[in-house]
A and B are shown apart, each in its own frame.
Chain A
Amino acid sequence: DTAVSQTPKYLVTQMGNDKSIKCEQNLGHDTMYWYKQDSKKFLKIMFSYNNKELIINETVPNRFSPKSPDKAHLNLHINSLELGDSAVYFCASSQDRFYGYTFGSGTRLTVV
């Protein structure tokens, strides 16, 4: 069983479209995250939810909206996609921030 699973693994879409990336964890962790990795490999946090409550919301355009229906799921919806949104998006979870994260395998988003 995959601990943190993201779907889809690859996503190619046109500018202006709306898309969602789904994330599920079966580790029983309380906290989930979305990170963005740009073309230079830099990893930056976007959002974090703890028990369905938003606790971190970095400077991210309003076109990005996370949704956590329960503590095992954290989805990322992106409206009006732009070329600059092309990146790899990683979902992660942790039980304790000092224990570290378990990452999903990433979703490579390409906006054309």
Chain B
Amino acid sequence: AQKVTQAQTEISVVEKEDVTLDCVYETRDTTYYLFWYKQPPSGELVFLIRRNSFDEQNEISGRYSWNFQKSTSSFNFTITASQVVDSAVYFCALTTMDSSYKLIFGSGTRLLVRP
């Protein structure tokens, strides 16, 4: 069975601090995709990144970076120099070859960035 665990329920940081959101996944499939979504207070779900199981390169996009490690089944997300606008709930998600088009979400991490 597939599963995504986000052990950090809530994180609070002061603006300009770096913060890492953890994501651990479980699957027996060798082909899978991992995602991060952001849900700001306004409620919509915003796509941030997609990563496939064959590409372990880390990715950087502005202040955002992602660290994918198959050895530890983790796909962690780091925000550098956090800003108040980064305050949101962040979801890690997984889809696999046999998940029948299902996107399986973790329980989310609420990030609060204080001024």
On A, residues with C-beta under 8 Å from B are 31, 33, 40-45, 48, 50, 55-56, 88, 90, 92, 94, 97-103, 105-106, 108
| B44 in complex: contacting residue of A45, A55, A105, CB < 8 Å | A105
Q: Please indicate the chain B residues that have their CB under 8 angstroms from the CB of A100 in the complex.
A: 33, 35, 47, 50, 103
- Whether A106 pairs with B43 at a CB distance below 8 angstroms is yes
B52 interface hit (Cβ, 8 Å)? yes
Q: Please indicate the chain B residues that have their CB under 8 angstroms from the CB of A106 in the complex.
A: 43-45
Interface SS of chain B: strand
Interface contact tally, CB-CB below 8 A:
61
Additional A-B contacts beyond A101-B47, A108-B43 (9; CB < 8 A): A33-B103, A45-B103, A45-B104, A55-B101, A97-B33, A97-B102, A97-B103, A103-B44, A106-B43
Q: Please indicate the chain A residues that have their CB under 8 angstroms from the CB of B75 in the complex.
A: none
| A45 in complex: contacting residue of B37, B91, B102, B107, CB < 8 Å | B102
What mask results when residues 11 to 52 of chain B are scored 1 for a CB within 8 Å of chain A, else 0?
A: 000000000000000000000010101010001110100101
Interface SS of chain A: strand
How far is B45's CA from A2's CA once the two chains are assembled, in angstroms? 14
